[in-house]
Amino acid sequence: MNKKEFKKTIPILNGWIHSPCTLSAEILASSKFNSITIDLQHGMLDFNECRGILQVLGKYNIYPIVRVPSNETDIINKCLDAGAKGIICPLINTVEDCEKFLESCFYPPFGIRSFGPTLASLNQTNYFIKSKSETTTIIMLETRESVLNLSKILTLKLLDVIYIGPFDLSISYGTSPNEIFKNKEMIKTYKDVLTKVKKAKKIAAIHCISAETAIKFLRMGFDLVTVSTDMGLLKKSLDEEQNRIIDFMQNFKSNSS
């Protein structure tokens, strides 16, 4: 899937990988996600495992994204060279932070990316020429400072997506992580951010914990929602199935006594 196709799928259903397991990556890639993000910031995997998963995703009609651990040129370049088409950068608080990130994503004269698309160019002709229009730049909005600086950040033309990280953002506002999807002040903040992002004609994204919260934000007008993580979905499914069996066993014992 290329960038044009990715944007055409709006609203976008995004998967999220925390596990280094390529088998679970295959399961996610063969499902109904439009894009999948490999998380190098909080995921339990390193770059080599990320590279292997990118190669797995490359077999499917999935838009591959990597969240890098920090705003550093070397890891951003390496992930793009390995085949990531979108990069999510955390810890973007100012327009200067965002400019640094964008520079790392593009070759001169638009940035400072070093040329060496080791895997990215294997099945793509004219990679150097196409890379500018094919790379999707995504920043995390996760602090009060980043919200205050959003209007300036949105003026940057090479920025594509604003991704709300509701946990860190809510903590920054003094709200408990347990209240991030219920707190009225935070809901208002999400709506205010959404309005500004839409006005700037960028893509608005938010991280969710369930289908219920994802539907809530899609109705609000968000363009991309992430439904939990691979490990979160596995635990939720496991808990639901086990609880059904445990409930049956307890009822069975009660009826038998």
Kindly list the catalytic residues. 42
CB 225 within 8 A of CB 241: no
Contacts by residues 186-191 (CB-CB < 8 Å, ≥ 24 positions apart):
189/147, 190/164, 190/166, 190/217, 190/220, 191/220
Place of tokens 């959404």: 194
Strand partners, 163: 140, 205
Side chain identity at residue 10, one-letter code: I
Q: Which residues fall within 8 angstroms of residue 84, CB to CB, at 6 or more apart?
A: 38, 54, 64, 65, 66, 120
Residues 6+ apart with CB under 8 A from 233: 227
